Structure 1
C-alpha cells in the first residue's frame, strides 16, 4: 500500500491494532458491549483521502464489520461505542467529519468525539464506557500527555485492555539529559520521582526504562499481564517505538502474541522493501534481489523465535528445579508469554523438545502430542528419584 511508503513502522502498528481488534471484537461482542477509546486520534501524516491509513478509521471498520457478522450469526446486536479524542483543532475537524457518518445509535453503534487534552476527557470517557468492555489505545507523539496516575481510572474495570505506543526513539535520546526538567517529565509514566534508582541495573539504560514503563503500567492498571512489541525503524536496525499491551485475561495475552508474530513477519518484509528502495535510490537502479532479501528478513523473525525458545528452555528448567513436583502448563505458559516473544504453540514445543532430550517428563502422551492447559510439566528426575 503506497500510503505507508516511508511509514513502515506505522503500518506495523496499524497491523497489530487491526489484528488484535479483530480477535477482541469477535470474542467480546458475543457476550458484552465494547467501548473503544482512542486518546490521540489525529489524523497525522495520513496519505489517503478517506483516512483508511489512520487508527480511527481502521478501528471503525473492524468494529462495524464484527458487529454485523455477529448479528448475522446470533441475531443479537451488542453495542459498540467509540470515543475519539484530539487536541489539535485542524486535526480534530478532519477526524470529526470522517467519523460522523458512523454514529448510528439506532443501530447500536455510537461515536463520540472530544476536542481537547486527553486527560481532561477521562471522566467523560468513563461515563461513556458504562458497563462495556473497554479497549484503550494511546498513541501520543511524546510522553508527557498521558500521566498514568490520571488515566488509570480508564483501566479500573474487571475486564480491560490497553495498547500504548511507548515512544522509545524519542525517550531514549533524553535519558541522560542534563536538564532536570526533562528528566522529571518522565516521572508520570515511570512511577514518580527517583525513577533512575528503580531501573534494572543488569540492563542498558534504554531497555531498562522500557521495562520500568511496563512495570509502572502494570501496577497503575492492575493488569495481570503487560508485554511489549519492538517496532524497528524502516531502514535502520534500531527500535523506533515499543507497542505496550496490557490485559487482565490470559486469552488476551495469547491472542496478542499471535498477532504480534504475524505483524513482525510483515514488518520484516516491509522493512526489507524500504531498505532496498533506499539503496536503489542512491544507486539509481532496481535491485535484482529484492524478493530474496525480503524472504531473508522474514526468516530472521523465525530465527528470533528460535533464540527465544532456547532461552525459554533454560528458564523452564530453572523453574522446575525449584518445583520438583512439577508446574501446571498454564503456569508455564503465563511465565513464557510474558518473558519472551513466543506464542502458545512455541511454548508447547519447548516442553516437547525438552521431553525428547530427556530433560522433562512426557506427561501428555499417549493422550496428545503436546501439553494441554492442565498438564503437569515435571522434571525428568521425578521419573527416576
Structure 2
C-alpha cells in the first residue's frame, strides 16, 4: 500500500513508524502534489507557532500541495491569513466564542441534545453519527449564525462533499462551493434588510460599521469558515469520543458514576482520537530546518496533531486512554495564534453530548465490531456509528444450574 493509502487506513500505526524513522517525510498531499509531513510532538508544536510558516497561499511555490481551492468570496478566511489581517479579523469575531458566551449556550445545547435523544426513544439500534453526533453541532452552529431551519440539511450535505470528495462524482465539491456561495449571498442580503439577534447579523454590522471592519469577501469567508469548521470538527469530535468510550466500557462507567470527570475526559478523548489528522498546510517564508531536515521556502508543510498527541516523548503510554492523564499541551485543536477559534464551543458541545448520552442510555453498546472511518488524509471521523441502546439496565438472569 502507498503511504497515502496507509495514512487513510491506519493513521496511528503509520505515524508511530514515521516518528521513529522519518519525523520529517516527503509525501503526496490529498491532490497528489508533494508536501512535507511533520510527526513528532516538539516539532509540530513549535511549527504551529512559527511565524515563518505562513498560511497565506501567496507564499506557496508552484507545484506543491495548496489545499482546497475556493472562490475569492470564500477564500479570504482565517485559514489563509497571517498577521496583521489574521489578527484584525480574529479580534473582530473572537467575542462570539469567549468562554462566557459559550457558557450561556450550554442550556440550549443540552436542550438540543435531549431533543435528539428523545427522538431515538427508549431502546433500539441507531446510527449515532446520523442521529446525534452530526445534527447536534449543525443545529448549534446554525442557531448561532441565524440560518433558517429548512436550509440546514443542505449545509450538512455541502460540508460532507467538501470534507470527503466522492470519486464517483468529481464535480460534487465544486457544486457544493457554488451552492454555498449562492446561499450566503442571498442570506447576507436578507440579514441586511432584517437584522436579527444572531452572529451573522453581528458580523454584517461589523462589516458595515465604522473603524476596523470586514471586507465583503472577508465577511462571506468568515461565515463560511464558522459554519464549515463549527460543524466538521465537532461532529467528528463527538463521534470519535463516543466510539472510543464504546471500546472502553470501564471508562464509560466511570463517567456515569461521576459526571464531574467529563471535562477532563473530553480533553483526553480529544488527545487520543481528535478530529484533525493534518492541520491546515503552511508555506515557509524562508528556508526552515525541522528535525535536521531543511525545507525550502514556499514548499508545503503538513503538521500532524494526531501524530504529535501520541508521541511517547511527550505523553507516556500514549496509546492508552487515561482520564487521569495530564493532557496540558495537547495540540488536537492547534497551538499559537491559529489555535481553533471555536475550541470552547466544541468542548462544551462534546461535554454536553456525552453527559446526555451516558445519562440516558446505561446499556449503550456497539452494534458493529468494525468502525467505518472517513477515507480522508486530513480529518479523522466516522461515517457511521451503529449502536444498541436502552434506557434501563438489563434484567439480571438467574444462574444456570
Say yes or no: TM over 0.5: no
TM-score w.r.t. the length of structure 2 is: 0.27
TM-score w.r.t. the length of structure 1 is: 0.28
Larger C-alpha radius of gyration, 1 or 2?
1
